[in-house]
Amino acid sequence: MADDILVEPQDGWRKLTLNRPDKLNAVNEAMLTRLLHALDAAEADPSCRALLLTGAGRGFCAGQELGPSLTPGPNGPPDLEKLAGTYHHEVVRRLRASRLPVVCAVNGVAAGAGASFALASDIVLAARSAKFVQAFVKIGLVPDSGASFFLTRSVGEARARVLALLGDAVTADQAEQWGMIWKAVDDATLMPDATALAARLAQGPAESHAMIKRMFAAAATNDLSAQLDLEAALQGQAGRTDDYAEGVRAFQEKRPPRFGQRAAT
């Protein structure tokens, strides 16, 4: 059985590791299919309340494998629209639509679609030695997997255009300063920090987390009035959860809350 996607169930959360270290975890169709299955399985597991995504070896993910499916052959160019739509973009959709908070530990270079997978996650920590490369332009392609969406919103259009047009690497520290990621940390503390974060999220109010993700997704397109309506509706929903009752009780009793409910479908 292929082990290019490692799934390690932890106490209330799962660690997913892209595991093709000799290729800096470059992805291909089979690997992405297994990643999609792993994401679906985590989503369907009621005991799973958070995800940690990382890469094995010295890279996080070097994007699409520059192999046969990307190589123009005797029958003409490959159908990259189909490739992106079937695999890469489904990963991004799953990460964003998931009810589970996703922590991404960028342990090394994140290039092309690999950078987009990181940016699609909810909380991104990167090792100081890691870098982010919009590699697409270097091989005559264009940003995909949400890169143009995420970057224009996180670093602003001026920087996003430079990154996309030149394909120069951005260091983890620079990515943090620009707001592309949450934090750059020392290489040695990346996994302990990311693990602690995933474990902490797994102890949090799962339904609240799911609604926060929905709310932030909608904020990308809603006007203020529509967003206020959504916030009111979701607050109403949150107010009816057991976690809210427990949260208020815990506050009044001056003790930490014990959240435990799985997000509703």
Name the residues that contact ligand T3D, by CB under 6 A: 23-24, 26, 62-66, 80, 83-84, 88, 109, 111-113, 133, 135-136, 138-139, 141, 144
Q: How far is the CB of 167 from ligand T3D (least distance, A)?
A: 9
Q: How far is the CB of 89 from ligand T3D (least distance, A)?
A: 8
Q: How far apart are CA 166 and CA 173, in angstroms?
A: 19
**Axis crossing angle, helix 224-239 with helix 242-252, rounded to the nearest 10:** 80
Q: How far is the CB of 151 from ligand T3D (least distance, A)?
A: 14
Q: How far is the CB of 17 from ligand T3D (least distance, A)?
A: 17
Per DSSP, the residues of 193-252 read HHHHHHHHHHTS-HHHHHHHHHHHHHHTT--HHHHHHHHHHHHHHHHTSHHHHHHHHHHH
**Considering beta carbons, is residue 144 or 207 the nearer one to ligand T3D?**
144
SS3 (DSSP) at 42 = helix
Biggest CA-to-CA distance, the chain:
72
**Considering beta carbons, is residue 133 or 211 the nearer one to ligand T3D?**
133
Torsion of CA 78, 80, 81, 84, to 10 degrees: 140
**Considering beta carbons, is residue 167 or 204 the nearer one to ligand T3D?**
167
Q: How far is the CB of 204 from ligand T3D (least distance, A)?
A: 32
Q: How far is the CB of 205 from ligand T3D (least distance, A)?
A: 35
Q: Which of 57, 77, 81, 59 is nearest to 68 (CA)?
A: 77
**Considering beta carbons, is residue 31 or 39 the nearer one to ligand T3D?**
31
**Considering beta carbons, is residue 23 or 94 the nearer one to ligand T3D?**
23
8-state DSSP, 84: I
**Considering beta carbons, is residue 129 or 222 the nearer one to ligand T3D?**
129
